[in-house]
């Protein structure tokens, strides 16, 4: 039987004449931090002090003892970042050029000092640029010239920390006769039966040895002979239980085990879990343009999505527990689709395992983002090799439903001046329209491939045409107001978002000793977007009076504005289902403490946006929308059952008086939307009035203020606060708009169970708080924020 021995102990990192202890998996930065050689680059402006690390060459070393008793010994690297030579006692085993691939070297009979020498990624990128010529990109760093996580070179939310190291596990595999080299599982559903077709490839030491494979799944067994180095085992599982996205059904998973045998001897075993479901994408033309609707098990979905970036700029630090915590947070917010963005990585198995279990659909970008990528060799060969490996590696996961060719590169070619700059040079089109769809069609025809995001389906339309395919809505954040989200109904919104700073406790940890201000040195360093603070200020000014010199107020209002902006888009687009078939918020998470578009900050704390997503992505949603015929209440029902009931409509003054009231009935079918016209006499008039819509039986509420907040004469908020273990109860005596308990101000570890809430006079809310060891009413009141009268 094949024996696998982890090689995680005894590594050292060569730093000049010194040999520092090294952690494998890990990277140079984390090892240097552990040794006290460099400071934590996430704190203050330390990022700039450690920039030299990415421009150095580094060597990792340990002793290799392959042992005996087997015919072959292989040294297996699951991930090397990125340009490296692998040697044993100075003998070259091979060179690597791709962070996104694994590598295997024959070390049979070898003993001695194992060395992995990393060349600076900058040096390699510059060398490639010298050979193939200049290629334009959205950022100045040379990430497009090598197969490495692009965002390690910095992004508009990320630091420039160019890593090197053994970022995934290393092991020694020893075996005899044969081993399983690759299993490609095609998992489908036919007539109520689950079908598993296992395409097996083996590597041999003895060509003449007869080999068989035996497989089991769901109590079904099958056997096949290996003809040379390949074979196929087919299994049919009767009465299979379907795997569904969360909110649509359960997520049953089936264990698959495949054993390679020589006679009665088991030589190797492959184990995975699979789920049975069908996946499709409806891109048919209609009266509105060209659709983009995911279909799972025949069910058409409105995708409630978030974009995912690497959860740490040092991805070797992301543990199984951390993946699960972050993805549980996503599921807890009502998310059912996670898009793994193309400037990052193919995530580790733990990520996809968690998505399988939680019912989170995965849209996986191939790692190309915001740049023209050369197609010359050896880059072209590396792209195909990594695609082949990762498509097969991730095939068992039922959560993975979409392969996407790139992020914004087709748009960049058309709109960002690339076509003229390139002058006919290669830029990646051959990957997105040639190599990648061919690889997916050949290896995994059970899944959807889409050329890029955004992409309209063909060059006949602009790549970011909202009427065709996927759309990225960034003009609103960059240039206008979030109310402009309501001007379009894209077919599928794959990116949109609004910035806000991280939680207060996150800032205090990341900027120790700094007097916080919107433009203090540390705050500006942890704001990577082009004119990011300017856009925040202009976005605030359209809705609120700017709080001069009051950081706490600025911090609160920017977080309110982020939640309001995202709500404006999602409410509008959900109300237009099925024309619009999905929204994917930019972004779920952060890779360090930073002002960004994230709902969960770099320390894992939920911003108000996170809690707002729980409302926006719930199966049932009430929203007041402006239509040509006037004001309507859109009743959105994504549940599998019909929804009938009554909504209480009240036209109210900000002082709390009810100027008009009515009850309206509604009925909306499963996965549907209904509109109820608001009676003319209940439409609020002027800045002092607003509309309240309550579905009391369901505990849902929608509000409509006809003017921006800066024009609303809010009363000075008055409320009582009562504190009990694990709870803060607020009772309003006036209108209290967008009340927020910033629990991390009570204690850094404290978390509240809800975000922004608006209370009418006499209403009460209890906010659950965990992690607050010494409840105190005065402290609770000081951590409560809400809108106040405009000065």
User: Any idea what DSSP says for residue 145?
Assistant: G
Tokens, residue 256? 């698959």
**Structure confidence at residue 348 (pLDDT):** 97
pTM over 0.75: yes
**Structure confidence at residue 696 (pLDDT):** 82
CA angle 748, 753, 759 (to 5 degrees): 115
Average confidence (pLDDT) over 495-518: 97
**Structure confidence at residue 68 (pLDDT):** 74
Q: Report d(CA 679, CA 649) in Å as an integer.
A: 9
Q: Report d(CA 507, CA 44) in Å as an integer.
A: 10
Tokens, residue 125? 């990128």
Tokens, residue 497? 């978002």
Share of the chain above pLDDT 70, in %: 100
User: pLDDT band for position 207 (50/70/90)?
Assistant: confident
pLDDT digits (tens, 9 = 90+) for 591-605: 999 999 999 999 999
User: 177-274 falls under which CATH superfamily?
Assistant: Immunoglobulins (2.60.40.10)
The answer to whether 206 touches 66, Cβ cutoff 8 Å, is: no
Which residues make beta-bridge pairs with 194?
A: 189, 237
Q: What are phi and psi of 12, to 5 degrees?
A: -130, 155
Average confidence (pLDDT) over 107-117: 95
Share of the chain above pLDDT 90, in %: 96
Compute the mean pLDDT over every residue in the chain, rounded to the nearest whole number: 97
Q: Which residues are catalytic?
A: 408
Residue 306: name the closest of 344, 278, 279, 334 by CA: 334
In the chain, what are the domain boundaries?
3-171, 177-274, 284-618, 621-711, 719-785
Residue 544 has pLDDT above 90, yes or no: yes
417: left (phi over 0), alpha (psi -120 to 50) or beta: left
pLDDT digits (tens, 9 = 90+) for 703-762: 999 999 999 999 999 999 999 999 999 999 999 999 999 999 999 999 999 999 999 999
pLDDT digits (tens, 9 = 90+) for 602-660: 999 999 999 999 999 999 999 999 999 899 999 999 999 999 999 999 999 999 999 99
**Structure confidence at residue 698 (pLDDT):** 85
- Asked if domains 177-274 and 621-711 share a fold, the reply is yes
Residue 301 has pLDDT above 90, yes or no: yes
Residue 15: name the closest of 42, 53, 48, 50 by CA: 53
**Structure confidence at residue 791 (pLDDT):** 78
The answer to whether 748 touches 505, Cβ cutoff 8 Å, is: yes
Query: Is the domain covering 284-618 a CATH 3.20.20.80 domain?
Result: yes
Fold of 621-711: Immunoglobulin-like (2.60.40)
> What CATH architecture applies to the domain 3-171?
Sandwich (2.60)
Residue 175 has pLDDT above 80, yes or no: yes
Average confidence (pLDDT) over 209-223: 96
How far is residue 483 from each of residues 381, 454, 561, 585, measured CA to CA in Å? 46, 22, 11, 16
H helices present in 444-550, as ranges:
475-479, 504-510, 521-525, 532-541
pLDDT digits (tens, 9 = 90+) for 457-490: 999 999 999 999 999 999 999 999 999 999 999 9
């Amino acid at each position: 039987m094949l024996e696998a021995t982890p090689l995680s102990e005894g590594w050292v990192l060569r730093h000049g004449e010194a040999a520092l202890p090294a952690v494998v998996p890990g990277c140079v930065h984390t090892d240097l931090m552990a040794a006290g050689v460099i400071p934590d680059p996430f704190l203050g402006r330390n990022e700039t002090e450690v920039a030299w690390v990415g421009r150095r060459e580094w060597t990792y070393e340990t002793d290799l003892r392959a042992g005996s008793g087997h015919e072959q010994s292989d040294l297996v690297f699951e991930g090397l970042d990125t340009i490296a030579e692998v040697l044993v006692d100075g003998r070259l085993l091979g060179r690597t050029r791709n962070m996104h691939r694994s590598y295997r070297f024959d070390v049979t009979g070898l003993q001695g000092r194992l060395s992995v020498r990393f060349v600076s990624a900058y040096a390699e990128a510059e060398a490639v640029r010298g050979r193939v010529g200049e290629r334009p990109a959205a950022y100045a760093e040379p990430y497009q010239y090598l197969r490495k996580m692009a965002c390690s070179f910095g992004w508009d939310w990320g630091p420039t920390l160019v890593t090197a190291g053994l970022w995934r596990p290393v092991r020694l595999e020893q075996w005899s006769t044969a081993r399983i080299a690759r299993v490609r599982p095609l998992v489908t559903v036919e007539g109520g039966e689950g079908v598993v077709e296992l395409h097996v490839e083996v590597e041999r030491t003895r060509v003449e040895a007869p080999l068989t494979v035996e497989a089991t799944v769901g109590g079904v067994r099958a056997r096949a002979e290996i003809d040379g180095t390949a074979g196929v085992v087919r299994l049919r599982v009767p009465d299979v239980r379907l795997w569904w996205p969360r909110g649509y059904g359960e997520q049953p998973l089936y264990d698959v085990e495949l054993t390679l045998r020589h006679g009665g001897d088991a030589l190797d075993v492959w184990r995975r879990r699979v789920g049975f479901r069908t996946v499709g994408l409806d891109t048919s033309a209609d009266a509105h343009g060209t659709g983009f609707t995911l279909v799972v098990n025949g069910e058409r979905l409105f995708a409630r999505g978030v974009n995912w970036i690497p959860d740490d700029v040092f991805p070797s630090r992301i543990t199984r527990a951390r993946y699960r915590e972050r993805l549980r947070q996503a599921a807890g917010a009502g998310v059912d689709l996670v898009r793994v963005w193309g400037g990052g990585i193919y995530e580790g198995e733990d990520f996809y395992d968690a998505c399988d279990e939680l019912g989170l659909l995965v849209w996986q970008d191939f790692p190309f983002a915001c740049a023209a990528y050369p197609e010359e060799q050896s880059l072209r060969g590396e792209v195909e090799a990594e695609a082949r490996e990762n498509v097969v590696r991730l095939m068992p996961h039922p959560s993975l439903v979409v392969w996407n060719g790139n992020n914004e590169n087709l748009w960049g070619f058309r709109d960002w001046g690339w076509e003229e700059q390139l002058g006919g040079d290669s830029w990646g089109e051959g990957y997105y329209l040639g190599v990648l769809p061919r690889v997916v069609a050949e290896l995994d025809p059970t899944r959807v491939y889409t050329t890029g995001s955004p992409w309209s389906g063909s060059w006949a339309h602009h790549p970011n045409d909202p009427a065709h395919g996927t759309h990225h809505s960034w003009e609103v954040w960059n240039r206008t107001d979030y109310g402009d989200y309501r001007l379009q109904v894209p077919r599928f919104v794959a990116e949109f978002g609004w910035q806000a700073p991280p939680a207060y406790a996150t800032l205090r940890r990341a900027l120790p000793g700094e007097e916080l201000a919107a433009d203090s040195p540390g705050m500006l360093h942890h704001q990577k977007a082009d004119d990011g603070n300017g856009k925040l200020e202009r976005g605030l000014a359209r809705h609120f009076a700017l709080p001069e010199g009051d950081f706490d107020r600025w911090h609160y209002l920017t977080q309110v504005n982020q939640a309001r902006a995202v709500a404006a888009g999602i409410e509008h687009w959900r109300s237009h289902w099925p024309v619009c078939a999905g929204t994917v918020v930019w972004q779920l998470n952060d890779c360090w403490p930073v002002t960004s578009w994230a709902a969960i900050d770099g320390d894992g704390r939920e911003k108000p946006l996170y809690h707002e997503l729980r409302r926006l992505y719930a199966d049932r949603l009430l929203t007041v929308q402006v239509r040509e015929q006037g004001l309507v209440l859109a009743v959105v029902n994504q549940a599998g059952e019909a929804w009938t009931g009554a909504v209480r409509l009240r036209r109210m003054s900000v002082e709390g008086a009810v100027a008009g009231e009515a009850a309206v009935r509604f009925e909306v079918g499963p996965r549907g939307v209904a509109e109820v016209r608001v009676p003319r006499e209940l439409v609020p008039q002027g800045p002092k009035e607003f509309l309240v819509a309550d579905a009391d039986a369901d505990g849902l509420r929608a509000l409509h203020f006809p003017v921006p907040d800066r024009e609303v004469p809010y009363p000075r908020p008055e409320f009582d606060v009562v504190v009990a273990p694990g709870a803060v109860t607020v009772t309003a005596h006036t209108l209290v708009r967008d009340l927020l308990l910033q629990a991390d101000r009570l204690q850094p570890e404290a978390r509240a169970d809800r975000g922004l809430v608006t209370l009418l006079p006499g209403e009460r809310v209890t906010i659950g708080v965990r992690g607050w060891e010494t409840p105190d009413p005065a402290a609770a009141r000081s951590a409560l924020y809400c809108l106040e009268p405009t000065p």
